[in-house]
Amino acid sequence: MSFHYGFLVESLVAVLLLMTILYCVRLNKQLRLLKADEQSLRATISELITATQIAERAIAGLKATMRDGEQTLNERLARSEHVSGEIERQLGAGEALMARLIRITGAARGDEPDAKAEAKVDAKAVAAAAQAFAERMRLRAGGPSNGLAA
């Protein structure tokens, strides 16, 4: 009987060793798959890092472009405000000159100055009057007409 127990124990150890070997083979396959997944994961992480660096450089470039655009826009805005102020000043001077011309022509015709009529003079009438006045002055001076006034 002791022979059977020895044979049974050795058979059980052999089966257990066989199961251990099969389990090791299975673990080896899983480890290979994990290593392959690790390599692909490392490659993916490397690509993400590269894409992040490219995006950071692009954002920095966009910020620089935005700053340049903002500076240019501010310069143009300041320049346009200056030109607008200059135009307003010239319009005020032109309106004052037109009022003087209206008073002078009114006095020459013998008309009484009418403050309401002076205030209601629109831009087209002012331009037409200025062209007519300039044409009359050219004719008096004997200069050639440029054909602007009809």
Residues 21-57: pLDDT tens digits? 999 999 999 999 888 888 889 899 999 999 999 999 9
Selected residue with higher pLDDT from 149 and 83 = 83
Judge whether 132 lies within some domain: yes
Average pLDDT over residues 103-132: 69
CB atoms inside a 10 Å sphere around CB 98:
19
Residue range of the domain that includes 72? 26-141
Query: CB within 8 A of 123, min separation 6: which ones?
Result: none
Residue 17, in any domain of the structure: no
Domain count, the chain: 1
Q: Give one word for 64, left, alpha or beta, with left for phi > 0 and alpha for psi -120 to 50.
A: alpha
Is 18 inside a domain boundary?
Answer: no
Q: State mean pLDDT over 104-131.
A: 68
The rounded distance, in Å, linking the Cα atoms of 142 and 147 is 14
Q: Judging by beta carbons within 10 Å of its beta carbon (0-12, 13-18, 19+), is residue 100 exposed, middle or buried?
A: exposed
Instruction: Flag whether 6 is in a domain.
Output: no
The answer to whether residue 128 sits within a structural domain is yes
The answer to whether residue 21 is domain-embedded is no
For residue 41, what are its two tokens? 């994961």
Q: What global pTM score does this model have?
A: 0.43
Does any domain span residue 9? no
